[in-house]
Amino acid sequence: MPGIIVMGAQWGDEGKGKATDQIAERVDYCVRYSGGNNAGHTVVVGDDTFVMHLLPAGILNPNSTAVLGNGVVIDLDVMHDELDALSRRGVEVPHPLISANAHIITPYHQTMDRVTERFLGKRRIGTTGRGIGPAYSDKVNRIGIRVQDLFDESILRQ
Protein backbone atom coordinates (compact mmCIF):
# COMPACT_ATOMS: atom_id res chain seq x y z
CA MET A 1 0.00 0.00 0.00
CA PRO A 2 1.76 3.19 -1.14
CA GLY A 3 1.78 6.31 0.96
CA ILE A 4 2.54 9.97 0.38
CA ILE A 5 4.25 11.98 3.09
CA VAL A 6 4.39 15.77 3.27
CA MET A 7 7.01 16.81 5.78
CA GLY A 8 8.69 20.12 6.45
CA ALA A 9 12.41 20.59 6.74
CA GLN A 10 12.27 24.09 8.18
CA TRP A 11 10.29 25.78 10.97
CA GLY A 12 7.03 26.17 9.10
CA ASP A 13 5.56 28.39 6.39
CA GLU A 14 6.82 25.96 3.77
CA GLY A 15 3.53 25.28 2.04
CA LYS A 16 2.81 21.92 3.67
CA GLY A 17 -0.88 22.76 4.00
CA LYS A 18 -1.19 23.70 0.34
CA ALA A 19 0.68 20.60 -0.78
CA THR A 20 -1.46 18.40 1.47
CA ASP A 21 -4.65 19.93 0.10
CA GLN A 22 -3.44 19.36 -3.46
CA ILE A 23 -2.79 15.65 -2.96
CA ALA A 24 -5.76 14.98 -0.65
CA GLU A 25 -7.99 14.17 -3.61
CA ARG A 26 -5.73 11.19 -4.40
CA VAL A 27 -5.63 9.62 -0.93
CA ASP A 28 -8.07 7.79 1.32
CA TYR A 29 -6.71 9.23 4.58
CA CYS A 30 -5.14 12.56 5.44
CA VAL A 31 -3.22 12.03 8.67
CA ARG A 32 -1.80 14.65 10.97
CA TYR A 33 0.80 12.71 12.94
CA SER A 34 2.25 15.37 15.26
CA GLY A 35 1.96 18.93 16.47
CA GLY A 36 -0.85 20.95 17.90
CA ASN A 37 -2.90 24.02 17.15
CA ASN A 38 0.14 26.28 17.03
CA ALA A 39 0.37 25.57 13.31
CA GLY A 40 -1.61 27.41 10.68
CA HIS A 41 -2.70 25.81 7.43
CA THR A 42 -4.32 28.15 4.92
CA VAL A 43 -6.07 26.56 1.96
CA VAL A 44 -7.67 28.56 -0.84
CA VAL A 45 -10.44 26.89 -2.83
CA GLY A 46 -11.76 29.17 -5.56
CA ASP A 47 -12.73 32.39 -3.79
CA ASP A 48 -12.89 30.74 -0.36
CA THR A 49 -10.04 30.79 2.16
CA PHE A 50 -9.95 28.24 4.96
CA VAL A 51 -7.58 28.45 7.92
CA MET A 52 -7.07 25.46 10.18
CA HIS A 53 -4.76 25.22 13.16
CA LEU A 54 -5.39 21.66 14.27
CA LEU A 55 -7.28 19.74 11.62
CA PRO A 56 -5.24 18.41 8.68
CA ALA A 57 -5.36 20.58 5.55
CA GLY A 58 -6.74 17.69 3.48
CA ILE A 59 -9.97 17.80 5.49
CA LEU A 60 -11.64 19.80 2.71
CA ASN A 61 -11.66 16.76 0.44
CA PRO A 62 -14.90 14.84 1.07
CA ASN A 63 -13.35 11.58 -0.18
CA SER A 64 -10.44 11.65 2.27
CA THR A 65 -10.87 10.72 5.94
CA ALA A 66 -9.17 13.14 8.32
CA VAL A 67 -7.06 11.55 11.06
CA LEU A 68 -5.46 13.08 14.14
CA GLY A 69 -2.79 10.60 15.17
CA ASN A 70 -1.17 9.57 18.43
CA GLY A 71 1.51 12.25 18.19
CA VAL A 72 -0.94 15.15 18.00
CA VAL A 73 -1.81 17.13 21.12
CA ILE A 74 -5.44 18.20 20.90
CA ASP A 75 -7.15 21.29 22.25
CA LEU A 76 -10.76 20.09 22.26
CA ASP A 77 -12.12 23.65 22.08
CA VAL A 78 -10.04 24.41 18.99
CA MET A 79 -11.08 21.14 17.34
CA HIS A 80 -14.75 21.87 18.05
CA ASP A 81 -14.47 25.45 16.77
CA GLU A 82 -12.74 24.36 13.55
CA LEU A 83 -15.27 21.61 12.84
CA ASP A 84 -18.12 24.03 13.61
CA ALA A 85 -16.65 26.74 11.36
CA LEU A 86 -16.29 24.25 8.50
CA SER A 87 -19.87 23.06 9.00
CA ARG A 88 -21.19 26.64 8.91
CA ARG A 89 -19.45 27.06 5.55
CA GLY A 90 -20.99 23.89 4.13
CA VAL A 91 -18.00 21.59 4.63
CA GLU A 92 -19.14 18.43 6.35
CA VAL A 93 -16.61 16.21 8.10
CA PRO A 94 -18.71 13.12 8.77
CA HIS A 95 -16.21 11.03 10.68
CA PRO A 96 -12.79 12.38 11.58
CA LEU A 97 -10.69 9.72 13.26
CA ILE A 98 -8.84 10.59 16.45
CA SER A 99 -6.26 8.33 18.05
CA ALA A 100 -7.27 7.11 21.48
CA ASN A 101 -3.67 7.75 22.54
CA ALA A 102 -3.58 11.40 21.44
CA HIS A 103 -3.11 13.72 24.40
CA ILE A 104 -5.43 16.55 25.41
CA ILE A 105 -4.28 20.14 25.92
CA THR A 106 -5.91 21.56 29.03
CA PRO A 107 -6.15 25.12 30.39
CA TYR A 108 -3.46 24.08 32.87
CA HIS A 109 -1.04 23.46 29.97
CA GLN A 110 -1.80 26.87 28.48
CA THR A 111 -1.21 28.59 31.81
CA MET A 112 2.05 26.73 32.37
CA ASP A 113 3.19 27.65 28.86
CA ARG A 114 2.62 31.37 29.37
CA VAL A 115 3.99 31.49 32.94
CA THR A 116 7.12 29.54 32.06
CA GLU A 117 7.78 31.76 29.05
CA ARG A 118 7.39 34.89 31.18
CA PHE A 119 9.87 33.64 33.78
CA LEU A 120 12.45 32.74 31.14
CA GLY A 121 12.93 36.45 30.45
CA LYS A 122 15.70 36.94 27.86
CA ARG A 123 15.93 33.18 27.38
CA ARG A 124 12.30 32.88 26.28
CA ILE A 125 11.67 30.75 23.22
CA GLY A 126 8.73 32.62 21.70
CA THR A 127 6.04 30.08 22.45
CA THR A 128 2.50 30.65 21.20
CA GLY A 129 1.21 30.08 24.75
CA ARG A 130 -1.25 27.45 23.55
CA GLY A 131 0.03 24.70 25.84
CA ILE A 132 1.69 22.54 23.20
CA GLY A 133 5.05 22.08 24.99
CA PRO A 134 3.60 21.39 28.43
CA ALA A 135 1.12 18.89 26.94
CA TYR A 136 4.02 17.06 25.26
CA SER A 137 5.93 17.12 28.55
CA ASP A 138 3.00 15.41 30.25
CA LYS A 139 2.83 12.89 27.40
CA VAL A 140 6.52 12.03 27.80
CA ASN A 141 6.16 11.82 31.57
CA ARG A 142 3.10 9.56 31.16
CA ILE A 143 0.88 11.79 33.27
CA GLY A 144 -1.16 13.50 30.55
CA ILE A 145 -4.80 12.98 29.73
CA ARG A 146 -5.39 10.94 26.59
CA VAL A 147 -8.53 10.89 24.46
CA GLN A 148 -9.32 7.37 25.69
CA ASP A 149 -9.16 8.56 29.31
CA LEU A 150 -12.17 10.78 28.68
CA PHE A 151 -14.28 7.65 28.27
CA ASP A 152 -13.22 5.95 31.52
CA GLU A 153 -14.02 7.99 34.62
CA SER A 154 -11.87 5.83 36.92
CA ILE A 155 -8.78 6.41 34.78
CA LEU A 156 -9.59 10.09 34.35
CA ARG A 157 -9.82 10.58 38.12
CA GLN A 158 -6.38 9.02 38.58
**Catalytic one among 13, 77, 84, 152?**
13
CB atoms within 10 A of CB 58: 29
Nearest to 103 by CA among 53, 137, 152, 56: 137
Residue 13 among the catalytic residues: yes
What Cα–Cα distance (Å) separates residue 128 from each residue in 11, 109, 111, 134, 157? 14, 12, 11, 12, 29
Residue 41 among the catalytic residues: yes
The whole-angstrom separation of Cα 27 and Cα 58 is 9
**Catalytic one among 21, 41, 75, 149?**
41
Active-site annotation, residues: 13, 41
